Amino acid sequence: TLAHIAYFAKKFGKNPKVVVAKVLKSITAVDLTMHHFENSIRSKFSDFEDALQYFAAKDIKGIDFIITRNDRDFKHSEIPVLSPKAFVSNFYLDT
């Protein structure tokens, strides 16, 4: 979530508001639909919220990765997974 990104930005000595504002320019927010809930219920994901995040992300054309602190629950993911720490350190530490 953006809250996790803000946390790690602050931990790395960056201004969380500046980092989150920069992130908001390059992400896509997705509304959850009944389809996402139904797929999540039938999925192999052990965590329902992770399943919702995954199936919502699958609807985004050209998605590069999912950002989560819980990468072990994404072992069935067809989308690459990054931790918030890795995301901030790889993409936003120059902020």
How confident is the model at residue 28, as a pLDDT?
A: 72
How confident is the model at residue 11, as a pLDDT?
A: 92
| b/e per residue 28-47 (b: at least 16 CB within 10 A) | eeeeeeeebeebbeebebeb
- For the chain, residues with pLDDT lower than 70 are 1, 29, 92-95
Global pTM reads 0.66
**Two tokens at 35?**
């389809």
Side chain identity, residue 60: I
**Two tokens at 5?**
């990104």
Q: Where are the domains of the chain?
A: 2-92
